[in-house]
Chain A
Amino acid sequence: AQSVTQPDIHITVSEGASLELRCNYSYGATPYLFWYVQSPGQGLQLLLKYFSGDTLVQGIKGFEAEFKRSQSSFNLRKPSVHWSDAAEYFCAVGEQGAQKLVFGQGTRLTINP
């Protein structure tokens, strides 16, 4: 069965600094990969997704992620974070041919002013 690991439970960065959130997955075939963001008490908003093709994916709010098959990783990056980026971030993998997602444990991002 597929699984997703987000090694960092909590990350704190200063406003304006760069950000990288790690995500590793376990899946036999080529996965569908997603990054979602959740503000407190809210649902999830899709930041970006990877299905195939270019391994560097651009998303909303200035986020990007790179799929590295050799490392089974799909890390999320942003060159300069804003205070409004403080939230919980979830990486997820979907089964090819299916629509069910398996989520990682989430990474809580705190932004220092």
Chain B
Amino acid sequence: GAVVSQHPSWVICKSGTSVKIECRSLDFQATTMFWYRQFPKQSLMLMATSNEGSKATYEQGVEKDKFLINHASLTLSTLTVTSAHPEDSSFYICSAIPGQRSRTLHFGNGTRLTVT
């Protein structure tokens, strides 16, 4: 149980275009999802907390206009990288918690974004 699916697993796009990444909780409802970014051989850095039905909470230093997060349902959160640039190339990972009182994050398999 507690499966988180992320799509696509990898994407290549041109500079200036936008890319949408989906994060779905397959067998549970997730009122809260988290988006992380991971640079090569580095740790995960929390970008934002996605709350169903309300605005996302962004971490300090994360551009909310560049990284648009939408959490329209209890099983889906999307991250849109707008006007992508090569420096946005990274590994993006989402996670979700099955329930308000749960303390265990379940992670998707990540999305490798390459901006050319």
7 A–B contacts from the bound complex (CB under 8 Å): A36-B107, A41-B112, A43-B4, A43-B6, A49-B104, A100-B46, A100-B49
Contacts of A34 on B, CB cut-off 8 Å? 104-105
In the docked arrangement, what's the CA distance between A24 and B93, Å? 24
Top 5 nearest A-B pairs (CB, nearest first) are: A43-B107, A43-B109, A44-B107, A103-B43, A103-B44
In the docked arrangement, what's the CA distance between A101 and B34, Å? 10
Pair B107/A32 contact, Cβ less than 8 Å:
no
Assuming the contacts A99-B103, A100-B34, A100-B49, asked whether A44 and B93 have C-beta atoms less than 8 A apart, the reply is yes
Assuming the contacts A44-B93, A90-B43, A90-B44, asked whether A101 and B109 have C-beta atoms less than 8 A apart, the reply is no
Contacts of A99 on B, CB cut-off 8 Å? 32, 34, 97, 102-103, 105
Contacts of B54 on A, CB cut-off 8 Å? none
Contacts of B106 on A, CB cut-off 8 Å? 46
Contacts of B93 on A, CB cut-off 8 Å? 43-44
* CB of B116, distance to nearest CB on chain A (Å): 19
Contacts of B112 on A, CB cut-off 8 Å? 41
In the docked arrangement, what's the CA distance between A100 and B44, Å? 12
* CB of A113, distance to nearest CB on chain B (Å): 23
Pair B110/A105 contact, Cβ less than 8 Å:
no
